[in-house]
Amino acid sequence: MSTETREVEELANREYKWGFVTDVESESIPKGLNEDVIRLISAKKKEPEWLLEWRLKAFRHWQTLVEPRWPNVTYAKIDYQDIVYYSAPRQKKQLQSLDEVDPEILRTYEKLGIPLREQEWLAGVAVDAVFDSVSVATTFKEKLRELGIIFCSFSEAVQEHPELVRKYLGSVVPANDNFFAALNSAVFSDGSFCYIPKGVRCPMELSTYFRINAIDTGQFERTLIVAEEGAYVSYLEGCTAPQRDTNQLHAAVVEIVAMDNARVKYSTVQNWYPGDKDGKGGIYNFVTKRGKCAGVNSRISWTQVETGSAITWKYPSVLLIGDNSVGEFYSVALANHRQQADTGTKMIHIGKNTRSTIVSKGISAGFGQNSYRGLVEIKKGAENARNFSQCDSLLLGDKCGAHTFPYIEVKNTTSKVEHEASTSKIGEDQIFYCKQRGLSAEDAVNMIVNGFCKEVFRELPMEFAVEAQKLLGVSLEGSVG
């Protein structure tokens, strides 16, 4: 093996930095899943009857489903009875302010670098932090309320804005949509809710931070974002988890609704614990994300940087219903060591003159397997629909894999669909060239990989882009050839 190859492999072998466990007392229910557990979750959250019924219906449907086997990933069978479906930091009473949040939890978020405190107003990010299953604190709520923006935990939304929740919950991802979405619908414990009223442009980035702390816990959060006519919001999502030997399940659902002329930008930096070098432990990230461009000229953009998780199964999609609506998907997915990622998007063109753009950058290193899976569907009525897809794969080393599964279904002859794909390997020549200019192998690999991901990174909000670049560097310590 050449020096360059070895160096890149060393680089990819750096350790997960977010693997600490926070010592907080938590309240969990016993492992296992049945209707009583769902009733218990619902009762703990003091939910209205209709929501309990909705959950139960989802659960009953889920029992008729089988876990999808079509993704290009392999893992041991999940025992759904061996998971804790609800875990919350124990707290004595309803929190009135951030000062009442368990200081241990605040310290955890500080370690993670999340600006949870209001004094960090200047950072311009409003954060809803979800610790295990429960939303711990939402910052800047008052500021946002003045504009009529609702940004709160999902549980709070159920209590405070039941009419909105009832109207939109399941309207984009129905409870029976797929195996993991049905599971989530049955047992979701919290998440974030965001509502931007007509004509309002949200003045700051809204952000949710997810962290799985407790052992053997599944995290099933649900995010619902509604942008009314002419509204705009940029939403960020970040996630980490402690390092544990066992696999933990994360099955989230995100729904976005954009009305006429509304725009929603949703950015994710996913850094769940990926497992160790040999593939022990790590998060199973089975997520359903979908946006609905319900109104004319509406626009939904997904940008994701997926560096964590042992297994990623995720296809942020857009239903382009409104005429002239636009869907975008920008993705960087990294699979290092034994990580497996099967990710992509679905762009469903229904309205006239709808447009979609897909830019996917897959990076495989170590023994990682990275698959792009995407569907572009042009329905009969989608006159003049346009799609452009670009899927690039970068291989670091010779033991990893990159796969592309593009599906294209076109039922309207006036539409135009373009697909470009490429696979390249970080060349030893490139690394040597950088080194000859004085750069270390580490800097060289980071630079080459970041260059490869540039088109996606520039879609991220500034601070997130910097974070994503750093994260990629850390996640890659050790893998080219």
Partner 1 sequence: MLEIRNLHAKVEDNEILRGIDLVVRPGEIHAIMGPNGSGKSTLAGVLAGRDAYAVTDGTVSFEGKDLLEMAPEERAREGVFLAFQYPVEIPGVNNSYFLKSALNSIRRHRGMEELDAVDFLALIKDRMKLVDMDQSFLNRPVNEGFSGGEKKRNEIFHMAVLEPKLAILDETDSGLDIDALRIVADGVNKLRRKDNATIVVTHYQRLLNYIVPDFVHVLVDGRIVKSGGKELAITLEEQGYDWVREGTDRVAVG
Nearer to partner 1, 350 or 453 (CB): 453
**Binding window for partner 1 (CB under 8 A); candidates: 67-75, 107-115, 202-210, 435-443:** 435-443
Q: Are 267 and 464 in contact (CB under 8 A)?
A: yes
Tell me how far, at minimum, the Cβ of 345 lies from partner 1, in Å.
21
Among 175, 206, 434, 476, binds partner 1 (CB under 8 A): 434
The partner residues of 208 in beta bridges, in order of sequence, read: 128, 237
Residue 169 CB-half CA count within 13 A: 28
| 10 lies in the site for partner 1, by CB under 8 A | no
Nearer to partner 1, 65 or 447 (CB): 447
Binding residues for partner 1, how many (CB under 8 A)? 26
Count of residues for the chain? 481
Nearer to partner 1, 2 or 34 (CB): 2
**Binding window for partner 1 (CB under 8 A); candidates: 58-66, 287-295, 351-359, 429-437:** 429-437
Binders of partner 1 in range 455-474 (CB under 8 A): 455
Neighbours of 46 (CB within 10 A): 9
| 347 lies in the site for partner 1, by CB under 8 A | no
Among 3, 34, 63, 414, binds partner 1 (CB under 8 A): 3
| 433 lies in the site for partner 1, by CB under 8 A | yes
| 35 lies in the site for partner 1, by CB under 8 A | no
Nearer to partner 1, 114 or 359 (CB): 359
Among 107, 411, 416, 454, binds partner 1 (CB under 8 A): 454
Tell me how far, at minimum, the Cβ of 234 lies from partner 1, in Å.
24
| 438 lies in the site for partner 1, by CB under 8 A | yes
Tell me how far, at minimum, the Cβ of 134 lies from partner 1, in Å.
41
State how far the alpha carbon of 264 is from the alpha carbons of 220, 257, 447, in Å.
23, 8, 30
Among 441, 460, 465, 471, binds partner 1 (CB under 8 A): 441
Stretch 371-410: interaction string toward partner 1, x if CB under 8 A? ----------------------------------------
Among 448, 465, 468, 471, binds partner 1 (CB under 8 A): 448
**Binding window for partner 1 (CB under 8 A); candidates: 2-10, 206-214, 278-286, 472-480:** 2-10
User: Residues in the site for partner 1, rule: CB under 8 A?
Assistant: 2-4, 427-430, 432-441, 443, 447-448, 450-455
